Amino acid sequence: MKVAVLGAGAIGAYAGAALHRGGAEVHLIARRAHGEAMRAHGVRVLSPRGNFTVRPHVTDDPAQVGPVDFVFLGLKANSYASCGPLIAPLLGEDTAIVAAQNGIPWWYFHGLTGHPLENRRIETVDPGGAVSEVLELRRAIGCVVYCSTVIEEPGVIRHLEGTRFALGEPKGGVTSRCAAIADAMIAGGLKAPVELDLRDEIWVKLMGNVAFNPLSALTRATMVQICEHPDTRELVAAMMNETLAIARAAGSDPQVSVEKRINGAWRVGHHKTSMLQDLEAGKPLEIDAIIGAVVELAELTGVPAPALRHVHAAIGLLGQTANAVPVGAH
């Protein structure tokens, strides 16, 4: 099996290292200091499950790799529409794209036979079809990541917790390609269940992301701090309840209670969400897939969602102003 990891950051490099250790032919596509360090010294993984180092092929030029069986997409969702020049050299006729993203994926309504919104494009995450033009729907395999990693230094991945990468076809069921990538990930020491309908898993994770990501960026608080402050805890519960109502109106039924989801976040500890980390690093915020698409689905399904709408408005403005140069500054 030949796998390219496009976006070999913290999660991508960790997944690629595991796949390489399991016997797959892995090519990591990364730039700058992180890519240079992995190319020179391999990928060093520091984990409570045991440290290891692997030396897959690392390049900043996808043309050096050529067509692969699977592309593991480790990019943020807000980079998908612009990744065409990077991903094009990796695509053969049957190449599948495993998209390890947070939030609502661009393929969400693809293949939902008989659903009122079957094949409906979600404009927030696929504006004008820009993403599905680059990432063809027929290639998509969904992936919900329950794994926490950070780049401790260039070439060094600190694995904090979790090894679960839930996989699923947009059309449901278990296909040979989904089973094949799952087997390869399991061989590398990861958990990779193939879900008959991945959408329920998407919503279970999204219940946390939709609330904690924007609130952490707006308040600069960790998940513990948000959970332990009575007013923000109440706001989180309201956003999660609205999200559950939207999920059910869209045809899914995630089996998790709001209280259990909040308590699970509290147990993670003083963890900074990815959106807060992006804000502090001066990177664009991943707003559309995490909360914007949920608000769009609320409109499509007729579900009132005042808490989600208000927080979306605030985080949207922060996304515009956070890295702007103040008026009069030099």
Catalytic residue among 2, 76, 171, 205: 205
Q: Helices 230-249 and 258-268: crossing angle, nearest 10°?
A: 130
Q: Residue 131: in which H helix or E strand, if any?
A: helix 130-134
The sheet carrying 91-100 orders its strands as 52-54, 43-46, 156-168, 140-153, 91-100, 68-73, 2-6, 25-29, 57-59
205 catalytic, yes or no? yes
Which tokens belong to 283? 């990177």
State the Cα–Cα distance between residues 132 and 46, nearest whole angstrom: 36
Which residues have a Cβ under 8 Å from the Cβ of 231 and sit 6 or more positions away?
none
Give bridge partners of residue 100 from the DSSP assignment: 143
State the Cα–Cα distance between residues 12 and 189, nearest whole angstrom: 15
Q: What number of H helices and E strands is found in the chain?
A: 13, 9
Q: What residues are labeled active site?
A: 205
